[in-house]
Amino acid sequence: MTILKILEFPDPKLRITASPIDTFNDELQETIDDMFETMYAAPGIGLAATQVDIHKRLLVTDISAEKNQPYVMINPEVTKNEGNINSNEGCLSIPGYQDDVARYETISIKYLDRHGVSHEEELNGLLAICVQHEIDHLNGKLFIDYLSEAKRQKIRKLIQKQEKYSTNTESAG
Ligand code: GNR
Ligand code: NI
């Protein structure tokens, strides 16, 4: 297994719309395992393929503390939504920044699992929020797109500063 490199805002590759998956081969199984390893190592509760520069409609999530509730969702589609909730979100592609965004409280989701078997489930709570955040990634959208341009500008500067800092510490050993 391999820990994959996570793209960071404002990388334009995060804006690519992912394509549907129609082949459930060994390469896909390896990608899924690598994505779980990358997500758990980060650590994060979700990861979209887009974030690791794979532009296919695939996401993984696990909101449990014990890492024992893994979900793989391929070609996910929200078929129903209900209610609204404020969600304080972070993103592995926007390190060091959190903010509130509006999400649906409950969603019905139709998706294929890693073997290509179709499922339809109603989700709520953090899992529903996380899946909405990941589907946005597959559509080239980030949670900061719901915020003001002024806030996004601040986040660009924050990330630039973080990059400078990590470059300096690397060269200093
Ligand atoms: O680890 C993550 N935590 C999180 C918290 C609130 C709402 C969404 C998320 S997803 C995020 C991991 C990530 O960036 N997935 O794309
Ligand atoms: Ni994210």
Sequence-ordered strand ranges (E) for 19-90: 46-48, 58-61, 71-90
78 is written with which tokens? 């929200």
- Statement: residue 131 has pLDDT above 70: yes
Determine the average pLDDT of the residues in 49-57. Answer: 99
- Statement: residue 163 has pLDDT above 90: no
In whole angstroms, what is the distance from residue 50 CA to residue 48 CA? 5
Residue 52 near ligand 1, beta carbon < 6 Å: no
pLDDT score of 106: 98
Q: Which residue has the tokens 């129609």?
A: 22
In whole angstroms, what is the distance from residue 75 CA to residue 51 CA? 16
Q: What is the pLDDT of residues 66-102, one digit of tens each?
A: 999 999 999 999 999 999 999 999 999 999 999 999 9
Ion ligand 2 — residues with CB under 5 Å?
A: 91
Helix (H), strand (E) counts: the chain = 3, 5
Under the banding of pLDDT at 50, 70 and 90, the label for residue 136 is very high
In whole angstroms, what is the distance from residue 38 CA to residue 42 CA? 6
- Of 43, 49, 102, the C-alpha closest to 75 is 49
The predicted model scores a pTM of 0.95
Q: Which residue has the tokens 């490199």?
A: 5
Rg (CA), the chain: 16
- Ligand 1 atom, smallest distance to 51 CA: 16
Instruction: Identify which of 14, 40, 45, 144 to mutate to test ligand 1's pocket (most ligand atoms within 8 A of the CB).
Output: 45
Positive or negative torsion for Cα 148, 149, 150, 151:
positive
pLDDT score of 173: 45
Instruction: Identify which of 8, 91, 99, 104 to mutate to test ligand 1's pocket (most ligand atoms within 8 A of the CB).
Output: 91
